Structure 1
Amino acid sequence: MGTDVRHAVVIGASMAGLAAARVLADSFEAVTVIERDTLPRASGPRAGVPQGHHVHALLALGAKVFEGYFPGLRAELERAGAPVWDWGEGLCAVLPHGTPPPTPMGMPIQTFSRPLLEHVVRGRVAALEPVTLRDGLTVTGLRTSGPGKVTGVRVKHGDSEDEIVAALVVDASGRSSHLPQWLAALGLPDPRTTTVDAQIGYASRIYTYPEGQAAPSWMGLLQPLRAPDFHKGCYAIQIENNVLHVTLHGAGGTQLPRTEDEFLAYAKSLPGPIADTIASLTPASAVRRYARTLNRKIAYHRLPRWPEGLIAMGDAVCTFNPAYGQGMTVAGLEARLLEQTLRSQRARIPLDGHAFQKRLARLTVSPWLMATIPDRAWERSRLAWPVKAGNWFMNRLIDTVPHDPKLFTAFSSLFHMTAGPLTLADPRLLSRVLAGPPAGDNARTAAG
């Protein structure tokens, strides 16, 4: 790509950062991924990913994107013990109006812990010839040649400081990104930040099966929250090492469990099979809690100007409530957008960062609405009519899903981002949603 494009720096070995490094390795002679944490040599949690202790999901679209960048990834995860199953057949969805019967969909899902996925993908990225992973290194600022051009990063390791020169810097440092402050130092105004916070918290732990005890008939259990009545729920999935990973969650400031007894009591307050399932299992971890679940987007694309040699992606730009499982899939889609941008601008290097941020903003519109429309219903302020209408429609859809396999399949495609919202504009499906669940079907009330 010419002598001007030799080295790219990625801030953060997050899933977004690793996906970006994979794409950049095809276009740059050298790619350096800088991570503040000391990265574990084996699969294991790390301080920079506190949400890693909780149930994670790679949506069907995300799995397809990552498999494209890392051929054989699914097989490698399966060899590590991560099960593969059909979403329609293996999911137990405990919804307000019932549980859909098993419905074969031909939608393969793989479940694993976040540390396992990150470990395997990190190993794949580190094996790429242009890529160097440097951990235990903190980026303290941007290296510039004037206010309009970024030429690398300033870093600190212990007491020593250094600079790393790069033609492109990618901020994939997640929720803790310092980019707004770094841009302010370049004379740019504060970008507009939008947040939607349903005050949802998680409490998670893993369980093993006593010798001779079979696993549950389901592979995944989904019991979503819904304002204003259903303020408790859970996710549970079977993952590697033959363990069950359970996340209990609550909205609107619901008090979450801290101890083993509180965890079981919370599970017993839920309808569905989770309490009976874990009652006979062996806890294999402490109860871990997490509450940084707000949705946040930073409108970098609306800034009047943007420095050359810089882009931002992943949670550094747009963060979703993890309850909807969108984050890693969107990170993969953003990497694909970066690949497309690099390919289209091959004759116009350096990369047009401002144009990239605008395209990234458009990419995140749909997942942002999917996450924030239901989350806004928990906020106490008056809801705008489009939010009310969106919530009414989604609730009507979910209430009808247990009674209609075609709607269950359509909703699953929407949830897994393999189909867009226009799927539901099909008159045959739309009429089913508007008709709603069968007459006489009453929603259960949430306990607690």
Structure 2
Amino acid sequence: MGTDVRHAVVIGAGLAGLAAARVLADSFEAVTVIERDALPSASGPRVGVPQGHHVHALLALGAKVFEGYFPGLRAELERAGAPVWDWGEGLCAVLPNGIPEPTSMGMPIQTFSRPLLEHVLRQRVTALEPVTLRDGLIVTGLRTAGPGKVTGVRVKDGDSEDEIAADLVVDASGRSSHLPQWLAALGLPAPRTTTVDAQIGYASRIYTYPEGQTPPSWMGLLQPLRAPEFHKGCYAIQVENNTLHVTLHGAGGTQLPHTEDDFLAYAQSLPGPIASTIGSLTPLSAVRRYARTVNRKIAYHRLPRWPAGLIAMGDAVCTFNPAYGQGMTVAGLEARLLERTLRGRRAGTPLDGQVFQKQLARLTVSPWLMATIPDRAWETSRLAWPVKAGNWFLNRLIDTVPHDPKIYTAFSGLFHMTSGPLTLADPRLFSRVLVGPRAGSSGTRTTAV
């Protein structure tokens, strides 16, 4: 094995970091994952992932990618209690223009808590011979050989400081990444940062079913926001331990619930079955709130220079409003990109970090648009016409979903990233969206607040 593939360091043991470590373990003699949190020995929330208290979704494409890297993952999660169900049959989608009838799609979905998925993946990754996980360790900066080459990281463990040499450093430290400051210390200009903030907040609780009470007929409940009129919504999924995980959300500064009474009152202000469902359940957790939902991308790919021995991925580069459920799936796709980049090198040559960042930027274009087009509609400034047109079409599409099973199936593929936007370019589908829902077509009517 060449000298460039001896040791890789991954900063961050979240989903992106674990996926990167899994890929690197196939190419490097040693992989060290560094995590600032003290990691729990069992499934449980941790300080560094405050959004872990809220509903998470692994899209169908993401589930396929992670299953490829961790064979048997779905079965292992199922043994831990995570249910598997068909998206079209098990979802209750409370949309502005109605609720689509159950439709078999052959799209298996598995629902679980973020802590359970992280726990199972941590066990899988640390079982790999090349991988060492060091938690409770803070990375304070990059170790360099001049401004053009990264040779490792500087770390702090309590009061002691040290350096860890590495042939490749992967920043997967998430939203709290310090990479812009570290690059500035190497003399690089500040990368352009783009943000789109719909000022969406979450409030979540976990419920259990009283003895003798059957769960609801649906496995997942989806009630999205839509500017400007539908400023309240919710997500709810059945997860492990026979529990229901409920996240209420609001946009544009909507006041979110703090207390148990507020939580139920907020749910009662929504159409659909959420209030009647949770009204008879037993809460297992306090109300948890979260508001760091801004979409943000950092244009590392546009920097004129990029130091050798370094790449960045995951939320450290591009982070999405979690409402669209894309983050974990994109982390898996970026790991797949890393694998292909490593395999595509000439023997004995190091990974070209600048090329990788450019490819990663291309990979995130579609999910970025899917998240930011509807989020930009909440902004008070005048929208550019492409955003207005995109938002009009997306709303028209969603309004047609409850009344057209073919459009529902096509939209589900788009949502789960198993098909791209070009699917809707099919003239038969495109024309159905433009015409919109027909009077008397299928779908249950509902009114939104």
> TM class by shorter-chain length?
over 0.9
On the 8 A contact 2:3/2:348 being kept in 1, the answer is: no
On the 8 A contact 2:83/2:240 being kept in 1, the answer is: yes
**Structure 1 residue aligned with 2:160:** 160
3-state secondary structure, aligned to 2:407: helix
Matched, 1:10 2:13: no
Matched, 1:214 2:214: yes
- Cα offset, 1:304, TM superposition: 0.3
Aligned counterparts of 1:14 and 1:357: Cα–Cα separation in 2: 20
Aligned counterparts of 1:287 and 1:265: Cα–Cα separation in 2: 13
Aligned counterparts of 1:8 and 1:382: Cα–Cα separation in 2: 46
On the 8 A contact 2:2/2:348 being kept in 1, the answer is: no
Aligned pairs (5 A) from 1:251-290: 251-290=251-290
**Structure 2 residue aligned with 1:202:** 202
- Cα offset, 1:3, TM superposition: 2.6
Aligned counterparts of 2:342 and 2:448: Cα–Cα separation in 1: 50
Q: Which runs of 4+ in 1 moved over 4 A?
A: 440-445
The code of the aligned residue for 1:200 comes to I
3-state secondary structure, aligned to 2:64: helix
Deviations 1:205-236, CA, capped at 9 Å, x for gaps = 00000000000000000000000000000000
On the 8 A contact 2:99/2:446 being kept in 1, the answer is: no
**Structure 1 residue aligned with 2:172:** 172
- Cα offset, 1:438, TM superposition: 1.9
What TM-score do you get using the length of structure 1 for normalisation? 0.99
**Where does the alignment leave 5 or more consecutive residues of structure 1 unmatched?**
none
3-state secondary structure, aligned to 1:4: helix
What TM-score do you get using the length of structure 2 for normalisation? 0.98
**Structure 2 residue aligned with 1:311:** 311
The code of the aligned residue for 1:47 comes to V
Aligned counterparts of 1:397 and 1:6: Cα–Cα separation in 2: 50
The code of the aligned residue for 1:25 comes to A
Aligned counterparts of 1:254 and 1:263: Cα–Cα separation in 2: 13
**Where does the alignment leave 5 or more consecutive residues of structure 2 unmatched?**
none
The code of the aligned residue for 1:274 comes to I
Aligned counterparts of 1:9 and 1:57: Cα–Cα separation in 2: 28
Aligned pairs (5 A) from 1:18-167: 18-167=18-167
On the 8 A contact 1:156/1:162 being kept in 2, the answer is: yes
- Cα offset, 1:437, TM superposition: 1.3
**Structure 2 residue aligned with 1:432:** 432
On the 8 A contact 1:229/1:445 being kept in 2, the answer is: no
Percent identical residues: 88
Aligned counterparts of 2:26 and 2:138: Cα–Cα separation in 1: 26
Deviations 1:344-398, CA, capped at 9 Å, x for gaps = 0142521100000000000000000000000000011110000000000010000
- Cα offset, 1:446, TM superposition: 3.4
- Cα offset, 1:443, TM superposition: 8.1
Aligned residues: 447
On the 8 A contact 2:94/2:446 being kept in 1, the answer is: no
Aligned pairs (5 A) from 1:230-245: 230-245=230-245
The code of the aligned residue for 1:277 comes to T
Aligned counterparts of 2:140 and 2:333: Cα–Cα separation in 1: 28
On the 8 A contact 1:45/1:53 being kept in 2, the answer is: yes
3-state secondary structure, aligned to 2:103: coil
